[in-house]
Structures are given as C-alpha cells and as structure tokens.
Amino acid sequence: MARGLLLPGRDWSAADIPRILAGHLREAPPAPGDLIARPRGDHDLQEGPVEIPDEASAIEAAVLVPIVLRKEGPTMLLTQRSAALRAHSAQIAFPGGRIDAVDGSPLVAALREAQEEIGLAPERVRTVGYLDAYLTGTGYRVTPVVGLVEPPLDLTLNPHEVDEAFETPLAFLLDPANHQRHGREWKGRYRSYYAMPHGDRYIWGATAGMIRNLYERLAG
C-alpha cells in the first residue's frame, strides 16, 4: 500500500498521512548498541572503505521531523539555522539538539528543542513514531521523532538559533527522483551525501539522509 502511495505525481492528502505512516515507523526510539537496529549515516554512501562513527562515544541528540497536515497537501517543516552560529551555520535542519539529562528521552528533547527554536508548542505535535538513529561525522547520534502538526502554525523563532522556518511539500521530499547524491572534500577525503535542492533551498547532509530514511521505511 505504501509503495503505491509514494508514486511520483500522486496527489497527497493530509488525511492519508497517519494511515501511510502506520506500521512503517519505529514505535520506540532505537536503542544504542542494538546490532539489529544499525544506525544510519553518510558513511552508508561512501564508495570506498570508511570508518563508521563510534556509536558508543557519540553525543546523544534528537530532532523533530514535523509533518504539517495542510489540506492542499502535507508539508515538512524545516529550519534554516542562524548564520551567526559557530557550527553548521545557515544550514537547513530539523528543530532539535542534544538530549539533556533532564529530558530523559529523545521525545522530550525533540519537543523541547522545537519549542525553544521555533516556538512550536509540544501540545501541537502528535508524535507517531521514530526513524532509525543517524550517526553524523561530527560525533552525534541523532534520534528523529516524527510528529504531525495541524495548521495554522503560530511560530516564534529564536533569532540566536534560527533565521527562518519554512515548509517543503512532502510529495517532493519523498520522491526518490529528487534524492540526488552530491559530494565535497571534507577532512582530506571526498565524502558523498544526499541532497534535495528545492527552489533556492539546499537540503543536504544529515537532514536529507533522515528524509531518505523516512522514504525507505515507507517504501518497504
């Protein structure tokens, strides 16, 4: 059923989304060290042998993957990080960050960060599951939390963290024809990564990798 619903050119309905997602997402966060639930990452895309980031020493983080249930077609809410940040400045990302000791879970951390970064109240988010963990080359183990948001949105951006919040059609992001493989030199070697350019937005790296993981889980 999911594969048919993901055919390019199909009209997406917000009412379809909960049914599409059901049974394809993780019901619980992927546990660290789970050999079956192997973390994803850009290391999956490298052509030659590459060292996989150490999951045990990675910093635990969580992001919210917000799907906005718009009548004209569901979208994914993304942010452009502040250009003033020291790390990953001006990059497109999901709301999220480190899991603090007081959070206790990726879900709490993702909802807290979304509220702090873009003013999205936790009670506005209906969480529906988790994607696979994502290991970044910068030493983070990210747990993506998928949530549904009913419009209208009433966002208040934190200018110290986010320059802009915007929506991209979910049908575009989940069309594999839009999943490009790009690459660049990083730390002395060529690295490949997913990129999903949309208009003047360059969605790439870990964010694009997590979107690709959502597509792969839905496509079975």
- Token couple for 66: 């917000």
Q: Residue 195 pLDDT more than 90?
A: yes
- Token couple for 50: 């590459």
Q: pLDDT tens digit string along 1-35?
A: 334 444 454 556 778 888 888 889 999 999 987 76
Q: How many residues does the chain have?
A: 220
Domain ranges of the chain: 12-29+55-170
Model pLDDT, residue 2: 38
Q: What does pTM read for this prediction? A: 0.91
Calculate mean pLDDT across residues 120-139: 94
- Token couple for 97: 């960050």
Calculate mean pLDDT across residues 59-80: 96
Superfamily covering domain 12-29+55-170? Nucleoside Triphosphate Pyrophosphohydrolase (3.90.79.10)
Model pLDDT, residue 137: 84
Return the H-helix or E-strand segment holding 146: strand 140-149
- C-beta separation of 32 from 142 below 8 A: no
Calculate mean pLDDT across residues 191-219: 94
**DSSP states along 125-142:** EEEEEE---EE-TTSEEE
Position with higher pLDDT, 31 vs 36: 31
**DSSP states along 29-41:** PPPTT-SSS--EE
Long-range contacts of 114-117 (CB under 8 A, 24+ apart): 114/64, 114/66, 116/158, 116/161, 117/79, 117/157, 117/158, 117/161, 117/162
Model pLDDT, residue 188: 64
214 contacts: CB under 8 Å, gap ≥ 6: 65, 131, 144, 146, 174
Q: pLDDT tens digit string along 161-187?
A: 999 999 999 999 999 999 999 987 766
